[in-house]
Amino acid sequence: MRGFEIVRPTTIERAIELLESGDPGVRPFSGGTAIMQMMKTGMFVPERLVSLAGLSKEHSAISVDGEGGMKIGAMATLSTLERNDLVQTCFPVLARTMKRLANVRVRNVATVGGALSHGDPHMDLPPVLAALDAIAILRGPSGSREVPVADLYTGYYETVLEPGELVAEVVIPPSDGASAIYRKTTSRTADDWPMVGVAASLRLSGSRISSARVIVSAATAKLQRITAAEDVLTGQGPSREVFADAARVASAHSDVIDDAHGSSVYKSALVEIEVRRGLRDAFEGETAE
Amino acid sequence: MMEKVNLDGAVVNRIRFKLNGREKNLDVASHENLVDLLVRLDHFSARESCGQGLCGCCTVLVDEIPVSACLTLAQLVDGSEVKTAEGLAPPGELDFVQRAFIEEGAFQCGFCTPGFVMMTHALLKETVDPSETEIREYLAGNLCRCAAYPEIIRAVKTAARNRPERTEKP
């Protein structure tokens, strides 16, 4: 970790210019909690860090429109997400998820944009945002484009982000009565990285499930939306049996990998259990902790 | 612009920041983290232990917000106000949180104590009377290898009772 340059642009346009070369030694730096560890271990040897800390406040703003859709600036910290009144009212699952993510100090500096663009499949925020149908607004040298959070990842620590592209904003559509949950299992300590992460969302119309989202992360190389499990749920009346069927399908369709957190057999078994419990929690509503 | 290089051959930049109320104006290398910088300025209360932001031994306040100094690039505190345990009370004196930790015997070896003390300050600034659950959640990211946790929780409660703005009121 020596001999690199730290630059502090004050506009996103300038930040994009500074990152455009695509040089692997040039990276954006926001909260820095993840990239600092990569630098300390020598996994990433920087030539230039483009600090985004000097960008204007609009990039960390959180707002809600008339229908209940939410916009979150990518530079909003995870602590802001945890404490923001609008988030707590409109998408309480986000605030609840933050409470069990790393610790206060990490949440104070880590940003929404960083959590989305780092590409570590163990992160908690991407699966939750994917279950909420959130869209990431990317800004880069050739303008801006929208990518659903569920489609941001191409592999282990790999994203669709092009050189010079930054996650600028996240847009969440109105919840429209849907109830969402996130459950994580840690295999060593309570505050460990998750071995299995499951986010789910259920929307009921009368006595039927009108839409469902099932997202599996951490156990897989990248977060995975399991549409086969969603299809099992959609149109059905909620019941233990339907949730159990969907959970079996979710586990069967998850591309679970072995790692230090556990074997793939163990994690596949847990995916089924966690999806089943997650759907129950989502059905029972936001009071379920 | 000519790059300035220090004796180790690392490129440096000049930064200005406040450390415990005092203006600092010095050259900092890009690879230095905030613990490195504090040690260079003879401030030893923030200790780099895990180096990953999970043990809390290097907790300092940057613009009143608790952060892990080991994950903070020193150049990026330019323009900020940094507070460490050394700045809590005048030399030779202790502030109400430090006194509460002594009163409750909330440490054995003391290595983690400055981090816990700084976190306690941040917690009591956010929450006047934290519940036991709030204390446990807020301090979950601070490790005490001597496992003085019950005493630490008591110390936080004692500090909450003894905070100056509370005891000074008639």
ipTM: 0.94
B8 CB neighbours in chain A (<8 A) are 2
Task: Write out pLDDT tens, residues B135-150.
Answer: 999 999 999 999 999 9
The A residues from 170 to 199 touching B (CB cutoff 8 Å) are 190-191
Give dist(CA A43, CA A37) in Å, integer. Answer: 8
Amino acid at A246: A
Which residues 106-165 on chain A approach chain B with CB closer than 8 angstroms? Answer: 106, 108-109
Q: Given A36, A99, A105, which is nearest B66 (Cβ)?
A: A105
Between CA A169 and CA A177 the distance in angstroms is: 23
**Which among B13, B72, B140 has the least Cβ separation from residue A103?**
B140
Task: For residue B75, give the nearest of A6, A36, A99 by CB distance.
Answer: A6
CATH number, span B4-87? 3.10.20.30
Could you tell me which chain B residue has the CA closest to the CA of A83?
B126
Contacts of A24 (CB under 8 A, 6+ apart): none
A147-151, A256-260, B59-63: which range is least confident on average?
A: A256-260
The per-residue pLDDT for A22 is 85
Shortest alpha-carbon distance between residue A194 and chain B (Å): 15
Q: How far is B85 from chain A (nearest CA, A)?
A: 16
Percent of chain B with pLDDT over 90: 89
Q: What is the pLDDT of residues A165-194, one digit of tens each?
A: 999 999 999 999 999 999 999 988 888 899
Does the distance separating the beta carbons of B75 and A106 come in below 8 Å?
no
What pLDDT was estimated at residue B16?
Answer: 98
- How confident is the model over B105-125, as a mean pLDDT? 98
Domain with CATH 3.10.20.30 in chain B: 4-87
On chain B, the residues whose CB falls within 8 A of the CB of A96 are none
**Residue A188: predicted pLDDT:** 87
Residue A95, pLDDT above cutoff 90: yes
CA distance A149 to A190: 26
From the list A184, A163, A182, the residue with the least C-alpha distance to A282 is: A182
- In a 3-state reduction of DSSP, which class is residue B127? coil
Q: Do B141 and A105 touch (CB under 8 A)?
A: yes
CATH of domain B96-167: 1.10.150.120
| Record: contact B119-A104, CB cut-off 8 A | yes
Spell out which chain B residues touch chain A, with contact meaning CB-CB distance below 8 angstroms.
Answer: 8-11, 13, 29-31, 33, 51-54, 56, 59, 65-68, 70-73, 75-76, 119, 122, 137-138, 140-142
Q: What is the pLDDT of residues B43-58, one digit of tens each?
A: 999 999 999 999 999 9
Beta-carbon contacts of B136 under 8 Å, excluding residues fewer than 6 positions away, are: B153
Q: Tens digit of pLDDT for each residue in A220-275?
A: 999 999 999 999 999 999 999 999 999 999 999 999 999 999 999 999 999 999 99
Tens of pLDDT, residue by residue over A201-225, are: 999 999 999 999 999 999 999 999 9
Q: How far apart are CA A14 and CA A278, in angstroms?
A: 43
B27 contact residues in A (CB cutoff 8 A): none
User: Which chain B positions have a beta carbon within 8 Å of A109's beta carbon?
Assistant: 67, 71-72
Q: Do B76 and A6 touch (CB under 8 A)?
A: yes
Backbone angles phi, psi at A166, to 5 degrees: -125, 145
Which domains can be identified in chain A, with CATH numbers? 5-51 (3.30.43.10), 57-172 (3.30.465.10), 179-284 (3.30.390.50)
Domain ranges in chain B with CATH number 1.10.150.120: 96-167
Which residues are within 8 A (CB) of A179 and not within 5 positions of it... i.e. 6 or more apart? A201, A202, A203, A282, A283, A285, A286
- Residue B109 CA to residue A55 CA, distance in Å, equals 42
A102 vs B11, B31, B141: nearest CB: B141
Is residue A150 over pLDDT 90? yes
Do A278 and A183 meet the contact criterion of CB atoms below 8 Å apart?
Answer: yes
**Interchain pair A2, B30: CB under 8 A:** yes
Q: Quick one: tokens of A56?
A: 């204007």
More confident call, A285 vs B76: B76
The closest alpha carbon to A220, from A136, A276, A279, A153, belongs to: A153
Across the interface, of B53, B65, B122, the residue whose CB is closest to A33 is B53
Interacting residues of B74 by C-beta distance below 8 A, sequence separation 6+: B15, B28, B29, B32, B33, B34, B36, B37
pLDDT of A39 higher than 60: yes
Contact B30 A49 (CB under 8 A): yes
**Beta-carbon separation of B52 and A3 below 8 A:** no
User: Average pLDDT, stretch A109-129?
Assistant: 97
Kindly tell me if the per-residue pLDDT of B89 is higher than 50: yes
Examine the pLDDT at A288 and tell me if it is beyond 50.
no
Is residue A1 pLDDT above 50, yes or no? no
Give the number of A-B residue pairs with CB atoms closer than 8 Å.
82
Please report where in the chains the tokens 């460490």 appear, as a residue.
B84
**Separation between Cα atoms, residue A279 and residue A163, nearest integer Å:** 38
| pLDDT-based confidence at residue A286 (cuts at 50, 70, 90) | low
Is A89 within 8 Å of chain B by CB? no
In the predicted structure, residue A287 carries a pLDDT above the cut 50: no
Task: Tell me if B141 and A2 make a contact (CB, 8 A cut-off).
Answer: no
Q: How far from the centroid of its chain's Cα atoms is residue A185's Cα?
A: 16
